Amino acid sequence: MRKNKKNLLIFGIVILLAGFCIFLQVKASESDNVSGWAWSENVGWISFNCTNQSWCATSSYGVNINNITGEISGNAWSSNLGWISFDRTKTGTPPAAPYNGAESYIAKILTLEPYEVFGWARALSASSSENGGWNGWMKFTWNTGTATGTVTLNHTTNEFGGWAWGGNPETASGSGVIGWLSFNDNDTSSPIDYQVVSEVNFAPTISNISDSYSCPCLQSRIPKLSWDVAGVDPNYDYEIQICSEQGCGGAGDPIIYESVQNTNSTSWSPACNYCCRISPYDNILWGGGIYYWRVKVRHTGEIWSDWNNEDDGFVTYPHCYPYSYFLCSYNGVSWYDCDGNISDGKCAATAECLGALPFSPPVGTPIYIKDISTCHNADNSSYDAVDCSEYGFNATTCPSAIVTTFYNWEFINATSTNGNDFATSVIEILEVAPWTINATTTDTHSPDEACGQEEQGEAGLPLPEWKEIAPY
């Protein structure tokens, strides 16, 4: 809460201002979110909203900040100068940078800390031939040659601070029709409590949007979509669209639309695994097609930012990556998940898998392993990798004109009867210590598409040796 500086001087100034309510800090409407007063020693008070004097019924005016772009528009009022406008259609093109090009605005506030104001406003009465050569422009960023400054918004107190310059834009020398324009009494020695205020709540901003197939063996249909977001605290909402055309203007766009609420994540991946054959994700087709995506964000439950587009799009893979998985058995008949961890869902999706391996494999006891990986052709039809192994395992059931599959197995604290290139084998755990089995499955028509499965576990104690003893 700011201290109240009311005293006899304030009372006298209030009387002289014929009812100017310089302490009132409210906004006129949803579209006019700037209010309060600025002060110039040369021209006096400048009002940024008709609510300052309850004039809105007879003269509705105000200054507005776009909460997405930061663009400033609208009009302020001076009893000595008349209308001071932020609208380019009224002011014309500023005499110098910034915003003296093809922009549709003449002033803008950066929507991130420190919320600096750049650009111009213009007193429209300066078109008179009796203005002493001043063209009415006021600049929010200035450079005197020895000092620079601007106007900023404190997003905690909602108060503007700093100085604008209302004179010759090339030489802010201390003279001019308006001269220095103060936005807050804290910048002066004034005993009067005044400031220009705004409760604008800027939408978060997005940058560095990108996509990558970071884990194609887990899901290779749609890449992971990522971005950076600033101005959140820390949770926010976002919406994602994936489309056939840039800007999502194609027939049937968006192909995929998802809205996520109250999150701090800065990435999105589809809710599916492996070949991702569920709707709506399967509407993204294999075969090198190009798809485009965009994202927008907001503070939870508030106003959305603009869409931010990933301009290059992403290219789909020719087909699904291999699905790599193998099972273990004590007897070569009943098959289980080898390390007992079935949380990845692979066992549940495999009819032959009875569940987690019931107990740790004893040292020196044969354990059967069998690969049940799946690979895919260029037309995205699938086949069992074991049927098409280059080593000929079950090759009679390999579809005609199929490409071959090869394996690479790695064993830690275990040994195999078939070395490290096989589809089915018998292994033994060497000692009472943790063991690891790694299997990599690759289809030869796209050798970069190699996927692996790792199983780890503890070894059980060797089985006891039995010795027959005669009962008598």
Please state the domain extents for the chain.
8-198, 205-315, 326-457
Cβ atoms within 10 Å, residue 2: 12
The sheet with strand 267-268 has its strands ordered as 205-212, 224-230, 267-268
**DSSP sequence for 352-389:** TEEEE-SSPPBTTSEEEEEE--EEE-TT--EEEGGGGB
pLDDT at 174 over 70: no
Confidence of residue 410 (pLDDT cuts 50, 70, 90): confident
**Confidence band for 15, pLDDT divided at 50, 70 and 90:** very low
Taking the C-alpha atoms of residue 451 and residue 321, their distance in angstroms, rounded to an integer, is 7
Q: What pLDDT, on the 0 to 100 scale, is given for residue 34? A: 95
Write out pLDDT tens, residues 345-375. Answer: 889 988 999 999 998 888 888 888 888 888 8
Q: What percent of the chain has pLDDT over 70?
A: 80
**Neighbour count for residue 415 (Cβ, 10 Å):** 12
Contact 162, 149 (CB under 8 A): yes
> Residue range 183-200: average pLDDT?
92
**Measuring CA to CA, which residue among 216, 250, 460 is closest to residue 318?**
216
Reply yes or no on whether the pLDDT at 6 is more than 50.
no
Structure confidence at residue 22 (pLDDT): 33
The string of pLDDT tens digits covering residues 276-311 is: 989 999 999 988 899 999 999 998 888 888 899 998
- Average predicted confidence (pLDDT) for the chain: 81
Q: What is the mean pLDDT of residues 203-227?
A: 92
pLDDT bucket at 247, cuts 50 / 70 / 90? very high
**What confidence tens digit (pLDDT) does each residue in 105-136 have?**
999 999 888 899 999 999 998 754 444 556 88
- pTM > 0.85: no
Percent of the chain with pLDDT over 90: 40
Q: How confident is the model at residue 79 (pLDDT cuts 50, 70, 90)?
A: very high
Helix-strand-coil split of the chain, %, nearest 5:
5, 40, 55
- What pLDDT is recorded for position 179? 83
What are 21-40's pLDDT values in tens digits?
333 333 444 457 999 999 99
Coil, helix or strand for 265?
coil
More confident residue, 259 or 371: 259
Q: Does domain 205-315 have CATH number 3.40.30.10?
A: no
